[in-house]
Every structure is written in structure tokens, then in C-alpha cells.
Structure 1
């Protein structure tokens, strides 16, 4: 094409990129802006914490690795309970207020790690940190459900997912300083900074609560719907009496096991079963982070209805099963082939995550009873917390313990989940309160 036309295309691409970055990190909507700022603080802090926590617990605190694993499992169980309870509590005290308190409490809990010693103190603080994090996740989902409608809710979650990935990436890079120093003091100081940074995420949420326009908007269901009387809100259906929603939560929770596959299974598989260098662990994590940051919003736009989301989830499950097969094949080749196959599997896995996250958000929002949005999002978050708790065990007893056969079992599991979504595509219908029907 002519030079002038090529220049216009380049300028147009840069303009669209700037618009996308601004919409994601500096949204005009006050609720979106507060959620983005809080999420960025939290995820940078979490990225730092993930990078140094294992060494903090084992080297600085002197706790055996097996004991750390048991303690974190106990903390995960606490997180399951708090994620459920927070959803119901959000309908009573308000999602914004609850989220603000959870963010502040999580920051304080993380900071306390810098001064504690001993197994008992470690378990208590881990339970507090995990419990407040999972409770905050439920409150955040309830806040999005209350503040946005239709496709805008899914797009908001997609943009927050981008912020999460970018924040964790930044935090991981910052934590490299502590890893380079590699002393107990460095790890304790870094986790103190982690806690302080996480706590600052409560500031934009507290400022949002002081806005009168935001207060009116968050007082009930989204403003684009008819006003619901308080007694009608109280009479909303319990998610535990909604078989359709429980089925969806069960299916999406099994799909969410792939996060454990990514963070626990792949490092063990690459290091112990393939000829690839261990640096590929970091390469695949960075590759996933970049792809999610670049494409999550675009992928989310294809899953804005319940049938569309169900189809998207089916596609995600099939693609994830393919990724399992490629990961397994990486063990059969030399260094070059292993690296090529791992990168290919990482690309396929990222596509599954992009489709799966988008589909699961739409289903979690659109199949919920709007009158008890917090309770429904709490059940959804509980399912995710359960998946995160069981994923390490499931991945290790299948793929890591039994190689290709184990990978085949995981692939078969994901295909069965995909079949469940396929069957539900025409059966699931959005739930609307009776007085709005």
C-alpha cells in the first residue's frame, strides 16, 4: 500500500491501542475506576507475594515444605467457607463496604507475615489472608453484578482480568530484587511492603463510597433495571435451591482446575518429565500473562448471551483437552521438540483460558437471581475456591504420577465437562425475578 496509507493504518492502530489501554486502566465509569485501582494494587502485591512466599515460609520462618503445604490447604478450606459466606453477607451489608473491609484486612494479614514465626502462627495468618482474599473475590463479583448490566458486566470482568495479569507480572518482576538478595530479612521486608501495598487498594473503594451518585447506584440492582422494593430483594431465591445454577457452578469449577494445572502441574512436568530447560516454566507463565492481557477483552465479546457462553465453554473444554495431549507429547521428544511442543501447548492453553473465563462470567451473572446477586456470586466464588484447593492433588495424582495416561484422564475430564455445557446450551435460561418477568 502507499506510504501515506500505511502511515494512517499505523496511526489508527496506535490510536485504538491507546483507547483500549485507557478503557482498561483509566475507565470513565467511577465504579470501574475504583475497582481497577484497587485490583491493580492488590495484584501487584499478590505477584510479589507469590514470588517470595515459599522462600519466606521455608527459609525465613524455617517451616518444612510439607508443613507449608498442609497449612496452605487448611487456609484454602477456610477460603472456601469465607467466599460463600461473603456472598450472602454482601446482600446484607453492601458489596462495596464488604469489599473495602476485605481488602484492608487482607493487606494487614499479609503484612503480619513479616513478623510471625512458628507453625501455629503461620497457619492462623495464612487462614486470615486466604479467607479475606476469597471473601473479597465474592464481594467484588457481587459489586460488578450490582453495578453493571448485560455485556458490560462481562466486559468489566474481562478488563479486570487483564489488570490482574498485568499487576501480577509487575509484582513478580519487583520481587526479583528480594530473590537476588536472597536473605530472610529481604523476604520479611518484601512481604511487609506487600501488605502495605495491598492495603492501599482500600483507598479508591472508600472514596467511591463517599460519592452520592455511586451510593445510589450501588444501593440496589443495576440502574438500568426497574427499582426493586427491599422486601422483594429479601425474598430472592437461594442459590442452593437453584439446580440450574449449581450445575453451572460445578461444571465451571471443574474447568477451573486448569489454573492448578498451570501453576503446579506444569512446573513439575517440565522439570521432572521433559528434556526442556526449567526456564520454560517462566516462559510459559509470561506467555500466558501476555496473551491474556492482549486478548481477554476481545474474547469476552463473543460470550454475551447464555447460549453463546455455553458454546464458548464447550469450545474452551475441547481446546483444553487438546492442550493436555500436547503437554503429554512434550515428554517424548528431545530438547528442541519439547520446547516447541510446550510453547504450542501454552498457546492452546491460553486460548482455552480466554474462552473459558469469558463464558464462565456470563453464565455466573446471567443465570443468577438479581435479587440475591451477592449470594449467587458467593456460591460461584466458592466453586472456584474448591477448584483451587483440590487442583494440586488432582493434577499430581493424574498427569505427574502416571504420565501420558494421567494426561489422558485430565483430557477426558475436560471433554466430559464440555459435553455438560453442550447439553445445557439449549436448556439453561436466564433467571429473572417474577415481578420483572
Structure 2
């Protein structure tokens, strides 16, 4: 009996996998489909850019590495400001319209790297590109917050996170051609292609803005949920004809309309400020993965440098396979806070394992690093799911853009300070530095455990 059932079980499992992949990369919902297509274009371009940008700046432009680091820090600070400002702007002009403009601006800025030279031009273009990217991230979060409700918002973010990881992986593979040629011209051509690919991400967003069917589909969930306001994309979406004028009846999807009642500013919401602060500290682990770990492997272990790529690919695969599943365990504020506590404790364990890789022979170190990467991936999967639910459910829906802008700004700050924090702890102090980071994550986990009992979503009439 088991032998006859085995093929049937395998076919059912295959069908589930195909259905899962299809719902992630070709969702039925029009907003989800547009965001997925746009995100795939953006992340393929990002993967290409990450692979060639350092060599473009240093070899093609001739800029010293230290100067590149300073310029990128300046651009990161600009990104912090634009991520916050874009959140407020999304509440006024519409998140979809703002996201479309940011994608185009980011694409044009990245393409400009192919023709500029000199430090001032490099810093100026880097500020434009980073500012547009971070503003777009705020607009994207605001669009998700406006267009979906409850657990579906977190699942949408989880699916987009899968798309991001797959896109970056594909882009990195495409950029291998420029790396093999290894000439200044190859890097300039590659970054021009990056800009073009990024700009194509605006096309599905433009199509969404012109879709009457999408407008009706987006208006229904807000009405059925009985929310006070649906925001520009939920309650006010309509369509435009090919010339840009009104097509049938109803306003355009990217047209902002006033919310019912004055929404609260996130800066006057102590509960939300605490959550953003805690999730931002947790987000330092991304810098730990992309900056601290490569430097640690290269300078403190006997492991071949190729393990850096192996561990990054392993993380990408794990996130792509399991992020949606992990997101389904953090659907309420208490469960999300508990999930964040779990993520912080697991991340502290990963820090201990990374430190242990400096002891022993190469085979043992490689084994420990792989185990550490698995543990780190689990922390990321839980942490992303928990932070999404908290950022959505603790926000005032009437000023969703401003709240998501503040949340995105927190991640931008973490991205900016992570390299400095990681290098001054782990790289400068070795195992003691790993212990400091582990202790920091444990403290953040305890704060989330306390918050699980105290934090509560905004009531519908809050304001």
C-alpha cells in the first residue's frame, strides 16, 4: 500500500510546489502582480549592480576605496531622509504614483553612473540613486499597507521578499559576464544595463494605474473590512484611458484622497517609535551578513574565501523556499512580538557559531559556518515576518504612508550604521565582539518579549 501511494503523494507535493511558485511570481491579485513584476525588475538590476559597483567606482572611475565608502555613507544618510519624507508624501499624492516616479528616478540615476567621472559627480549620483531607492521602499510599503488587510499584507511582503532574493541571485549571475571581461568599459556597459532594467520596473505600475478592473478589486477589501479609510489606492482607484484622462467612472488609482479624520503622526506614537527602534537594531544583522561575515572569514579564519559566496547563496535559497511559510506564524501583534524574540535569541546563537569558526581546522570551520548560516537564515525568516506584522498592525491606517515611511527609515539607519558597528565589534575585537553583538540581540529579544504583553493595535477610531 505505501508503495502505490508514494507516486500519488509525490505528485500532490509537486502540484503544491508549482502552485506556491506560481502564486508568488504570478499572483492573481492585480496589485500583487504589478508589485511582483516591478520588484523582480528592480532586484535583478540590484543584483547586477551589487556585483559590479565596487569595481566600477574604483577601477573605471579611479576613485579610492576609502572615498567610495565615505560617498556611500553620505548617500545612505540621504536615503534615511527620503525614506521618511516619502512616507508622508505617499499619503498626499498616492503611493502608487510616488512609487512609479521613484522607480524611474532610480533607473535614470543608476544609468548615469555609466557616463560620470570624478568624486563630486559620483557622490551626487549616488545620493540620487539611494534617495530614490529608499523613497521607493517607503512608497512600496505604503502601497501594501493600503491595498491589503490583516495577514494578507504580511504574506504579500513575504512573497515580495522571496522575489527580491531570487532577483538578486539572477542579477548576480548576469553580472558575471562583466566580471569575466573585467575592463572599465564592461563595467560601464553593465551599469547602463542596470539602469535600463530598473526603469522597466515602472511599466507594470503604469499598467496598474490605468486598470479599471484593478481599481474595483482594490476598493472591495477596504469596504468589506469596514475600515475607517482605505487610502488612495484602496478607496479611490479608478482608471485612465491611453491619453491619461478618465476612462470610465471613478478616480485614478494613483490619486490621493483625504482620509476620514486626522491620522496620528508616528512621531507622536511612543509605542510605534519603540517598535521601529527595536526592529532597526535587529536589522543590523543584514550588515553582519554582507560586511562582517566576509571580513571575518577572510581575516580571522582559515576558510577559503569562496565560502563567502556559498553562504550568501545558501541564505538566498533558504529565504526563497521558506519565507512565506515562516510569515504565516506571525499574524497578530502578540505572536509577531514573540516571533521577534525567537529571532533575536536564534541570531545570538548564530553569532556564537560564527565566532567558533575561528577555532579548529578548515573542515571543522566550514561545518560550523554552514550551521551558523542555517541558524542565521532562520533568524532572518522569523525576524522579517515579525517586523512586517508589527509595522503594519501597530500603525494608524489613516496615515499609513507616514508610518511605513518611519519604519523604512529605521531600516535605512540600520543599513547606514551596520558596517561601522560590525567592524568596530567583530573585526576589531574578535570573539569578544561577537559576544557583544549577541548580548545586544538578546536584550532586544527581551524587549520584544515585554512588548508582546503590552502592545496593542490602534482602535478604528483612534486619532
Q: TM-score band (shorter)?
A: over 0.9
- Counting only pairs closer than 5 Å after superposition, residues 268-279 of structure 1 correspond to structure 2 as 268-279=295-306
3-state secondary structure, aligned to 1:332: coil
Which of residues 342, 347, 359 is equivalent to 1:332?
359
Match of 1:11 in 2: 11
Match of 1:194 in 2: 194
3-state secondary structure, aligned to 1:425: helix
Match of 2:427 in 1: 400
- Counting only pairs closer than 5 Å after superposition, residues 150-161 of structure 1 correspond to structure 2 as 150-161=150-161
Match of 1:222 in 2: 222
Match of 2:105 in 1: 105
Please give the alpha-carbon distance, in whole angstroms, between the structure 1 residues aligned to 2:384 and 2:402. Answer: 20
1:260-285 superposed Cα distances (whole Å, 9 cap, x missing partner): 00000000000000011100100000
- Counting only pairs closer than 5 Å after superposition, residues 27-106 of structure 1 correspond to structure 2 as 27-106=27-106
Contact 1:217/1:223 (8 A) holds in 2:
no
CA spacing shift, 1:191–1:428, aligned 2, 3 Å: same
Question: Shift of the alpha carbon at 1:234?
Answer: 5.6
3-state secondary structure, aligned to 1:331: coil
Unpaired segments of 5 or more residues in structure 2? 230-256
Deviates more, 1:215-224 or 1:304-313: 215-224
Contact 1:221/1:228 (8 A) holds in 2:
no
Please give the alpha-carbon distance, in whole angstroms, between the structure 2 residues aligned to 1:2 and 1:205. Answer: 49
Question: Shift of the alpha carbon at 1:223?
Answer: 4.0
Contact 2:228/2:460 (8 A) holds in 1:
no
Match of 2:172 in 1: 172
Question: Shift of the alpha carbon at 1:227?
Answer: 5.8
Please give the alpha-carbon distance, in whole angstroms, between the structure 2 residues aligned to 1:27 and 1:281. Answer: 33
Match of 1:247 in 2: 274
Match of 1:365 in 2: 392
The answer as to 2:427 corresponding to 1:427 is no
Please give the alpha-carbon distance, in whole angstroms, between the structure 2 residues aligned to 1:303 and 1:393. Answer: 31
1:169-228 superposed Cα distances (whole Å, 9 cap, x missing partner): 000001011000000000000000000000000000000000124345668993433364
Question: Shift of the alpha carbon at 1:434?
Answer: 1.2
Contact 1:94/1:219 (8 A) holds in 2:
no
Q: How many pairs does the alignment contain? A: 436
Contact 1:233/1:372 (8 A) holds in 2:
no
1:323-349 superposed Cα distances (whole Å, 9 cap, x missing partner): 000000000111111100100000000
1:93-152 superposed Cα distances (whole Å, 9 cap, x missing partner): 000000000011101110000000000000000000000000000000000000000000
Contact 1:221/1:370 (8 A) holds in 2:
no
Match of 1:416 in 2: 443
3-state secondary structure, aligned to 1:169: helix
TM-score when normalising by structure 1: 0.98
Please give the alpha-carbon distance, in whole angstroms, between the structure 1 residues aligned to 2:224 and 2:195. Answer: 37
Match of 2:211 in 1: 211
Contact 2:228/2:461 (8 A) holds in 1:
no
Please give the alpha-carbon distance, in whole angstroms, between the structure 2 residues aligned to 1:243 and 1:226. Answer: 26
Which of residues 378, 382, 386 is equivalent to 2:409?
382
Please give the alpha-carbon distance, in whole angstroms, between the structure 1 residues aligned to 2:424 and 2:220. Answer: 45
1:18-48 superposed Cα distances (whole Å, 9 cap, x missing partner): 0000000000000000000000000000000
Please give the alpha-carbon distance, in whole angstroms, between the structure 2 residues aligned to 1:91 and 1:265. Answer: 37
Contact 1:221/1:227 (8 A) holds in 2:
no
Contact 2:347/2:379 (8 A) holds in 1:
yes
- Counting only pairs closer than 5 Å after superposition, residues 335-350 of structure 1 correspond to structure 2 as 335-350=362-377
Match of 2:26 in 1: 26
RMSD: 1.5
Q: Which has the higher helix share?
A: 1
TM-score when normalising by structure 2: 0.92
